[in-house]
Structure formats: C-alpha cells, structure tokens
Amino acid sequence: MKTERKKVLQIIWFENIKIAFQSILSNKMRSLLTMLGIIIGISSVISIVSIGDSMKGVMDDIYKDVGKNRAYLYINNIEDFRSTDFFSFEDLDILKERFNNKIIYICPSESLRSDVTVNKNTIKLKMTCVDSDYDKVQEVKMLYGRMINKGDVDRKSKVIVLEQAAAMKLFKKENVIGKSIRIKIDNVLEDLMIVGVYKIDQSPILSLLQGQSVYEESYIPYTMAFPSYYGFYGLDIFVNEKLSVSSVGDEVVSYIANMKHRVPENYWFYTAEEDQASANSVVGGLSVAVAAIAAISLVVGGIGIMNIMLVSVTERTREIGIKKALGARTKDVLFQFLIESATLSAIGGIVGTVTGIGLVMLGGSLISIPIVVNPASILIAVIFSMVIGVFFGYYPAKKAAKSDPIDALRYE
Amino acid sequence: MNNIISIKNLNKIYKTGSVEVHALKNVNLNIEDGEFIAIMGHSGSGKSTLMNILGCLDKPTEGQYILEGLEISKQSPDELSFIRNRKIGFVFQSFNLIPRINVFKNVELPMIYAKTKLLKRKERALELLDKVGLGDRLTHLPNELSGGQKQRVAIARALANNPPIILADEPTGNLDTQSSNEIMGIFTKLHEEGNSIILVTHEPDIAKYANRVIVFRDGMIIEDRKKEGASNNLV
C-alpha cells in the first residue's frame, strides 16, 4: 500500500517537472535573462574558487622546489650583541657533528654580488655560497661540468658554477667550462674558474610572481668567499627528511642558545613549510573573500528569479484557478512553482558552472598554469543555486498556492 | 428519493467595504441523482453564486450544503480540492482550458490530480476525446480549435474522473447557434447515460433541454418546475 502511494506520488512529481520545463521553454528569452543572474553568480564563484585552488597548487610547486625540509636559522633580536654571537666556522663544525644524523646540510646563508664583464658584456652576478653536497639536498640541474664539491670547499678553490643564462650573456654560449671570470669580493678582484653550468627550471607563474631579477645566478664554495675568522648572521639548513623540521629546529635553537649563553627567543628558525602555510592562508583567505563578494551576485540572481516568478504567478492566475477547480491542492500548486524556480536556477547553475570552468581553463592555458577544479565546488554550486531557486521561489509559489480559486477564475 | 445535493437555508452575503450584498436568501433545494437541471435568471439574480457554492469553489455564509452526504462548509481547502476533483466536472462559459498545453493534456489534468496511473489515464483521455468527437485533435493547442471544439474538450475534461455531477456555467454563452446545439446534444446524451447535470443559463432555448428548470430572482428561487412527463432515466 505504501509503495503504491509512493509510486503515485512520483507520477505527480514527474508531471510537475515536465510542467516546469514546458513553462521554462515556452518563455525562452525571459528564462534566459532570469537565469543570467544565476549564471554570472555561479560562474564567478566557481572560477574564483578554482583560481584559489590553482594558486594553492602553484604554491605547492614553488615550495616543492624550495624543499620542505629546508630551514633558515637567524640571530634575532639581541640587544647587547657580541661578536661571539656570530656563527663561526667552528660553530658550523660543532653543529655538523652534534646533529650529524638530523641535519644533512648546513652552510652560512650568504650570497655575494658583483658586476662581471667578459668581452664588454657586463652582467650583475649573484653568487650563492654553498657547501659541498648542496646538489644532494637541493636539485641542481647540471648542463655541463660539475657542482661545487668537497675538494673545492676544503681547498677554498677559486671556482664558480654559473647559471646557463649568465653563461649565455657573458660568452654567448652555454658550455663555458674552463673559462675564467673576474669578480670583486670586498674590493678585492678575484679570478674564478667556471667548473660547471646549470639551469634553473622555473615555472612561468613563479617567474611571474617573483618578477624579473636583475641578477644572474651562480654558486661558489663558502670557504672561498669568506676568511676563516668570519662570523655569520644566518645559517642555511636542511633537516633529515625523515624528521620533523620544527622539532629539529627547536633542538638546534636550544643547543645554540645554550652554547652562546643566550635564550632560544634570540634565534629565529624559519621553515619553508611555515612560509607555505602562511602563503596558503593568504591565498585561501583572499579567495574566500572574493568568492563571498561573488556570492552576492547569486543573491541578486535569486531576487531576479523571485521577481520573474511573481510575474509568472500573476500571469497564470487564471491557470491556477482552473487547476484548483479541477482538483489541484495547495501543495500541487506550490510544488509546481517551486519546481519551476528550482529548475530555472539549477539550469542557470549548471550553465554557470560550465562557463566558470571554461573561463578558468582559458585563463589557465593563457598563463600556462595547471588548473585545479574541485568537483565538490561544482556540486555545491549546483545545489546552492537550486536552494536559491527554492528559497526565492517560495514566496511567489506560496502566493499562487493560496489563491482562492474563485478569485483566480474571475481574473482576466 | 435519492438526493445527491441537499441545500438548506443557504445564505450568501458578499461584503465589499461597508456594502453588503445579499446574493442568496434562504435557498432550499434538493437535487436527485440523474436530474438535468437548468438554473435560470438575470444577471445578479444569484444563479452564479449558487453555482460557485455547488461547485465547492465558494462557501455559503450561512446554511447547509450536503453533497453526497458530505457537509461542504466543514471541509478544508484541500478537502474541497479533492471533492471538486472527484465529484464535480466543470464546464465554463469561457472554456477555461489551459492554453499552454495540448488538448490531450488538458483532459488528462484532473486525472493527474486524482493520481490515476499513467496508462489508465491515457486510455481514459483518449476514450473521452473520441466520445466528444475530437479523437483526431489530440495534439492541438486550445487556441487552434473553434469555440465549439474547445467546449467539447472542456466537457471531456469534466468527465475525466467520472464525477457524479456536471456543473455547466453558461456553456453555450460564447458559441454560435450551431455549436450550441451540438454542445447541448452532448449534454442530452450524457444525461441519457445517467449523468446528473446542472446548467446555468439565461437562454430559454438552452433551458428547454433540461427536465427541471429553476428560476432565480434577487437571490431567491421564484420558480421550480419539472417538465411534463420528464423522467430521470434512472429507474
């Protein structure tokens, strides 16, 4: 008996949906204009959400390059600064030994800058100081020759590994192994031999974000750049990937604080992970804010639907009267109009979703970043648009359903 | 005595602002199953008001209306919808077909609300449209039909749920003589088949088809006569 009732109910649902489609189709232009509000609203929400998601994807890529196990240790906020507070070469050796299995790479976080001229071609060169094995912890894509090795560091060799663009600008060719360039370190001229050429593979979006740097990149052994009595402000650290970066950081900080008779608050252990989290939260917050603004247009679209449904109810007053005379209950009329407005806005939602994804795909292909479209956001968009249809369709539908058949029949 | 409709001391007062219109005054009326009644009167005589009350579209201000044993004034709007759907077939002067849907669907509509199963519904609609001679016009929209044809669709629709009473409010009011005669022919046939028909008209030519004529004036029945030798065809 119950299933019988259910079946019978389904029939009238189906009829109502058919009636809704008929009524939408019989007023194509008006339906389209009504849907436009929802289409614009949904497509902007969808595209903003997926731009946000795509940006997060780009961020992940960027920080994958940087390395999640990378950290920097800086001296921070010491009022009575002493020369012993600097990290010395000895400190480096102590840390290397003490955290032998926890830290896989440690090196002063330093770089030098100098103008370099070869055959009247002048470039500005940034020389990043590295220890040996830098290429073991961070990917360095060698084109020719080799990376800075242990021998270079131990012997303080006057060698340099150039980035391909620097080589091209100076020598008009990539393979420049064995050639020398003259640089100026602390007003002292040095001739460095090029032992390797590497290439930075940068995603277009990253270079877009970072902008064009005036400096060309290169690597030099840190022992060559600084005298052995020199002290450093900061250290470049790679933590063993199996361990938590922050807990190793805490250990290192407290060890150093103890060693230097300072408190841990005097040091700043900065991780890429932390940086990524804060960058992600900025991107996330931004896209939520913009999506919220876009959602306002959904409300405007909803009001458009309400308006057109009210017109539709007035137009069909007589039809409602006839239907009521023929036995339509309040519920039947209510559902007919609710289904109509929900269908109207759901179609708008679907069209809007397709438009939004299309726009983002187009934009993504223009600036060549991978587009992330969250299926959940599509589902939410369509359901949300139906909810808007039902919400804003309820008042007109209720008005239609409650109308007195005799007044409705008399209506001309 | 088989009263399908029984009305006792029925009063209907319309209030528009401070003006009160006493549209029906103490009307008493019994209608038997199988009767063909014409309700006559000038405009404003109360005949349309009575028609609306009989059709459960309006409620009396005072008095009792019993339709097949049901006290109508006590029903909720949805119960009234149910009663209109199952017990009353409406035929209006202005046809009142739904313009956006075709002839077949118009006839189907009362059966959709009655939750008749799809197949049975389609069969019944076909059968009825054949009966009124429009079996070849199923997919036409109402505005593609002549007045007489529209009214025949309306009659088919009125018969859809096989109601005990057919209420026709000036069914020939918008039709030419020939179409009027055709429509009245259909009503006569329906009456012969045993349907109870209540017809509102102001034309004596139409009223003569009925076997009982009730005349209204100023909200009161001033005449109620049965035709000589009229029988109900139902024994």
**Domain-located, residue B83:** yes
Record: contact A330-B78, CB cut-off 8 A: yes
Chain B hits for A22, CB-CB cut-off 8 Å, are 100-101
B112 with A11: Cβ contact below 8 A:
yes
pLDDT of residue B234: 40
The set of residues, in sequence order, having a beta carbon less than 8 Å from that of B130 and lying 6+ positions away, is: none
Residue B219 falls inside a structural domain = yes
SS3 A1: coil
Low-confidence ranges of chain B (pLDDT < 70): 1, 228-235
In angstroms, the CA A390 to CA A340 distance is: 9
Give chain B positions within 8 Å (CB) of A408. none
- The H or E element spanning position B122 is helix B118-131
pLDDT computed for residue A48 by the predictor: 85
User: Is B57 in the A-facing interface, judged by CB distances under 8 Å?
Assistant: yes
> Using the beta-carbon criterion (under 8 Å), do A327 and B161 form an inter-chain contact?
yes
CA distance B107 to A23: 18
Task: Domain count for chain B, please give it.
Answer: 1
The C-alpha angle with vertex B208 and arms to B206 and B212, in degrees rounded to 5, equals 115
Amino acid B162: pLDDT:
92
- A332 vs B57, B84, B113: nearest CB: B113
For residue B228, the model assigns a pLDDT of 61
Classify the C-alpha dihedral B162-B163-B164-B166 as positive or negative. negative
Within-domain flag for B155:
yes
Task: For residue A400, give Cα distances in angstroms to A112, A325, B92.
Answer: 78, 14, 21
Closest by CA to A54, choosing from A287, A229, A399, is: A287
Indicate whether B222 belongs to any domain. yes
- Rounded-to-integer distance, Cα A76 and Cα A270, Å: 11
Q: What is the CATH number of the domain that holds B85?
A: 3.40.50.300
Kindly list the residues from chain B whose CB atom is less than 8 angstroms away from the CB atom of residue A409.
57, 92, 96
Residues 6+ apart with CB under 8 A from A383: none
CA distance B111 to B160: 6
- For residue B2, being part of any structural domain is answered with no
Rounded to a whole number, what is the distance in Å from the CA of A336 to chain B's nearest CA?
Answer: 12
User: How high is the pLDDT of residue B231?
Assistant: 47
Q: Which of residues 263-322 of A touch B (CB under 8 A)?
A: 318-319, 321-322
Residue B100 forms part of a structural domain? yes
Per-residue pLDDT tens digits for A27-79: 888 888 888 888 988 898 888 888 888 888 777 777 766 677 888 888 887 78
Mutation target to probe the A interface, by most A beta carbons within 10 A, among B112, B162, B169 is B112
Q: Does residue A348 contact residue A37 with C-beta atoms inside 8 Å?
A: yes
Which of A22, A327, A331 comes nearest B110 by C-beta? A327
**Partner-chain contact A325 B96, CB within 8 Å:** yes
Residue of B nearest to A9 (CA): B115
User: What pLDDT is recorded for position B232?
Assistant: 46
Interchain contact A31–B (C-beta under 8 A): no
Question: Which amino acid is located at B171 in the chain?
Answer: P
Under an 8 A CB cutoff, do A405 and B57 touch?
A: yes
CB contact under 8 A, A329 and B58: no
| Domain residue limits at B177 | 34-59+73-230
Distance from CA of B227 to the nearest CA of A (A): 31
CA of B216 vs chain A CAs: smallest distance (Å): 21
Give domain status of residue B149, yes or no. Answer: yes
Judged by CB atoms closer than 8 Å, whether chains meet at A326 and B109 is answered as yes
* Structure ipTM: 0.90
- The residue of chain B nearest to residue A332, with distances taken between CA atoms, is B113
**Contacts with B81 from chain A: Cβ below 8 Å:** 324, 327-330
> pLDDT for B28-47, tens place per residue?
999 999 999 999 998 888 88
Chain B contact probe: residue of A12, A326, A334 with most B CBs at under 10 A = A326
Question: Hey, are the CB atoms on B113 and A11 less than 8 Å from each other?
Answer: no
- Would you call B98 and A323 a contact, using CB atoms and an 8 Å cutoff? yes
Contact B218, B27 (CB under 8 A): no
User: Which residue in A9, A326, A406 is closest to B113 by CB distance?
Assistant: A326
Quick check: is B182 in a domain? yes
Residue B104 near chain A (CB below 8 Å): no
Spans of chain A below 50 pLDDT: 1-2, 4-5, 8
Closest to A86 measured CA to CA, from A98, A100, A74: A74
